[in-house]
């Protein structure tokens, strides 16, 4: 058995158009969008009456993809539950970026919230956390040259 790489990260969203714009603005490339439904997907994910829209985004380096999923049915009755950096479970997606200040500035103008401040970690990385649409937490890391 051998694991090759992370293929994609899936994020469930309520407002798919807003999430698409956010990730396009971040610099990801939309690879495709499709509706998914039927018994085959229901058997994979363990839900009934599934109808969802799936949008795939590619990273600029082509190493992984980001999958945004909008469930039309069944819906999550609890809605968006805001999480924090210390909430148990998967909490953020980390992106290696160039010019972290510019990336954060651009996203803040679009409504993203910086958790604290951009920090210099041992003159190796500049790091920060940003909350994007629907509470999605992103970490940005810029390698210091």
**What's the CATH class of domain 8-73?**
alpha beta
Q: Which two tokens stand for residue 64?
A: 């992984």
Express each pLDDT in 14-39 by its tens digit: 999 999 999 999 999 999 999 999 99
Q: Which residues are within 8 A (CB) of 18 and not within 5 positions of it... i.e. 6 or more apart?
A: 133, 134
Express each pLDDT in 48-87 by its tens digit: 999 999 999 998 888 889 999 999 999 888 877 888 878 8
Tell me the pLDDT of the chain averaged across its residues. Answer: 91
The whole-number pLDDT of residue 61 equals: 81
Determine contact, residues 28/57, Cβ cutoff 8 Å: yes
* DSSP reduced 3-state for 86: coil
92-143 matches 8-73 in CATH topology: yes
Distances (CA, A) of 10 to 31, 68, 90, 124: 14, 6, 11, 29
pTM value?
0.86
Between residues 84 and 122, the one the model is more confident about: 122
Domain boundary assignment for the chain: 8-73, 92-143
Neighbours of 50 (CB within 10 A): 20
CATH of domain 92-143: 3.10.180.10
The whole-number pLDDT of residue 23 equals: 95
């Amino acid at each position: 058995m051998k694991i090759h790489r992370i293929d994609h990260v899936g994020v469930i969203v309520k407002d798919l158009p807003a999430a698409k714009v956010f990730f396009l603005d971040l610099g990801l490339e939309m690879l495709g969008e499709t509706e998914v439904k039927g018994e085959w997907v229901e058997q994979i994910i363990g839900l009934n009456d599934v109808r969802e829209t799936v949008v795939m985004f590619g990273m600029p380096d082509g190493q992984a993809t980001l999958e945004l999923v909008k469930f039309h049915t069944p819906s999550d009755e609890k809605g968006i539950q805001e999480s924090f950096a210390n909430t148990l479970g998967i909490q953020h997606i980390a992106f290696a970026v160039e010019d972290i200040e510019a990336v954060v500035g651009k996203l803040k103008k679009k409504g993203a919230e910086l958790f604290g401040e951009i920090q210099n970690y041992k003159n190796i990385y500049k790091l920060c956390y940003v909350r994007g649409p629907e509470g999605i937490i992103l970490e940005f890391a810029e390698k210091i040259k």
